[in-house]
Amino acid sequence: MQDSYQHQGQRRQLVKVLREKGIRNERVLEAIGRVPRHFFLEKAFADWAYQDKPFPIGCEQTISQPYTVAFQSTLLEVNKRDKVLEIGTGSGYQAAVLALLGGRVFTIERHRPLHLKAKKMLQLLGLKGVRCYHRDGYKGLPEMAPFHRIIVTAGAPEVPQALKEQLTIGGMLVIPVGDKDQRMLRIIRRGKTEWETEDHGDFRFVPFLPGTA
Ligand code: SAH
């Protein structure tokens, strides 16, 4: 696997496209400009890796569209050294972006083959700070809680209470909620039993499913 000049050029082009679509956060754009997305795709799709599209990654799952990754990453407002929990590792691409934003990333996936593959790729890229778990994300990661930031990358029918409880006070959860289409919600924990919800528009994700596969 190599990161050629051609890939780097395509990546700059992708950043330009995301900028045109309204992504303005320079740190997020820089992170996307640095992660070799083609490493996270099957060979057959590598030539299209820098199009702003989702692609199949096996186990009937998809790597999110770069615009969605950029949008969620922007909403998440990751600060350096923040403890960040991601539910839905998938390919590991979003986890890599979060790590480059300075987060200490914990990521959970319910499909073992995807979990193993993502873990290997993140290690290969030298992102050793990312810790991967094969678990049911509905329950979060209680032994490592609380988290400053939690991001869910699958469409959830409802907001799991466990995730809200695993936020720090002032912490944020970014989660697409809904059955067929989802609304992108940002939930900010304001107190021990107080959460504030913002709605950031329509998206469509693969479903958030209970249990491990
Ligand atoms: N962040 C990923 C996107 C993957 S798609 C990327 O950058 O590639 C969403 C992923 O969420 C899928 O891999 C799916 O298997 C996983 N998922 C769905 N429900 C889950 C659950 N309850 N716990 C953990 N992972 C889950």
What percentage of the chain has pLDDT greater than the value 90?
A: 93
Domain of 149 in residue numbering reads as: 52-203
Q: Looking at the 3D structure of the chain, how many domains does it have?
A: 1
Q: Tell me: pLDDT of 85 over 90.
A: yes
Question: What's 64's domain CATH number?
Answer: 3.40.50.150
| Residue 66 maps to a domain | yes
Residue 191 backbone dihedrals phi, psi, to 5 degrees: -170, -175
Closest C-alpha among 85, 94, 140, 142 to residue 114 = 94
Whose C-alpha lies nearest to ligand 1, atom 26? 88
Please tell me the predicted confidence (pLDDT) of residue 138.
94
Answer yes or no: is 19 within a domain.
no
What pairs with residue 131 in β-bridges?
106
Looking at residues 113-134, what average pLDDT do you find? 96
In-domain check, residue 171: yes
Residue 186 and residue 108 in contact, taking contact as beta carbons nearer than 8 Å:
no
Q: Which of 114, 203, 208, 212 best tests ligand 1's pocket when mutated (most atoms within 8 Å of CB)?
A: 208
At residue 29 the predicted structure's pLDDT band, cuts being 50, 70 and 90, is very high
If you count them, how many residues does the chain have?
Answer: 213
Residue 28, domain member (yes or no): no
Asked whether 66 and 32 are in contact (CB, 8 A), the reply is yes
In a domain, 42, yes or no: no
At 180 the pLDDT is 87
Q: What is residue 33's predicted lDDT score, i.e. its pLDDT?
A: 98
The percent of residues in the chain predicted with pLDDT above 70, rounded, is 100
118-121 CB contacts, 8 Å cutoff, 24+ apart: 118/40, 118/89, 118/90, 118/91, 118/92, 119/92, 121/39, 121/40, 121/91, 121/92
Q: Which residues sit with their C-beta closer than 6 Å to ligand 1?
A: 61-64, 87-88, 90-91, 93-94, 108-111, 114, 136-138, 153-154, 206, 208-210
Whether residue 213 lies inside any domain: the answer is: no
For residue 5, the CA-to-ligand 1 centroid distance in Å is 31
What's the whole-number mean pLDDT along residues 19-44? 97
In the structure, what pLDDT confidence band is assigned to residue 129 with cuts at 50, 70 and 90? confident
Q: Which of 63, 59, 61 lies closest to 49, judged by CA?
A: 63
The pLDDT score that the predictor gives to residue 66 is 98
pLDDT value of position 118: 98
Read off the pLDDT of each residue in 22-38 and give the average, rounded to a whole number. 98
21 in a structural domain: no
Run of H or E including 34: helix 26-34
pLDDT at 26: 98
Task: For residue 81, tell me if it sits in a domain.
Answer: yes
Q: The tokens of 209 are what?
A: 């499913």
State yes or no: pLDDT of 101 exceeds 80. yes
Average pLDDT of the residues in 88-98: 98
- Calculate how far, in angstroms, residue 89's C-alpha sits from the geometric centre of ligand 1: 5
Average pLDDT score, the chain: 96
Please compute the mean of the pLDDT values over residues 134-144 and round it to a whole number.
97
